[in-house]
Amino acid sequence: DQQVKQNSPSLSVQEGRISILNCDYTNSMFDYFLWYKKYPAEGPTFLISISSIKDKNEDGRFTVFLNKSAKHLSLHIVPSQPGDSAVYFCAASGGTRWYGGSQGNLIFGKGTKLSVKP
């Protein structure tokens, strides 16, 4: 049973518009959430994260929103650029509650392929 779900396998947006990628989770013990970006033939690279004690984290064009009551988070990219075209993975971690000092494993969603058209 998937604990982290990305229900949209793909998303296409026009350059300059907003991209919104969604993620739902089921385990209330998750206390840290991350977004990774992956280009073909490369490993995932960290993009942005958010602790469960916050509801928003912003880094340049990227903002992550967390709604704990709905167990939902989203990644907003604005303005979208063609170079943002990649697969985006949502991931969750149980942090110190799992390993008491050093995080263990991340649970990933299946990813959403974003295509930004010029």
Partner 1 sequence: GAGVSQTPSNKVTEKGKYVELRCDPISGHTALYWYRQSLGQGPEFLIYFQGTGAADDSGLPNDRFFAVRPEGSVSTLKIQRTERGDSAVYLCASSSAVAPNTGELFFGEGSRLTVL
Helices (DSSP H) in the chain: which residue ranges? 96-99
CB of 72 to partner 1, least distance (A): 17
Nearest CB to partner 1, comparing residues 110 and 117: 110
8-47 mask for partner 1 (x: CB under 8 A)?
------------------------x-x-x----xxxxxx-
- Sorted by sequence, the CB contacts under 8 Å of residue 102 that are 6+ apart come out as none
Q: Which of 28, 60, 83, 102 binds partner 1 (CB under 8 A)?
A: 102
The CA-based diameter of the chain, rounded to the nearest angstrom, is 46
Q: Does 75 bind partner 1 (CB under 8 A)?
A: no
CB of 59 to partner 1, least distance (A): 13
- Sorted by sequence, the CB contacts under 8 Å of residue 41 that are 6+ apart come out as none
Q: How many Cα neighbours within 13 Å face the side chain of 20? A: 6
Query: Is residue 76 classed as helix, strand or coil in its secondary structure?
Result: strand
Select from 10-18, 55-63, 76-84, 95-103 the region that touches partner 1 (CB under 8 A): 95-103
CB of 98 to partner 1, least distance (A): 8
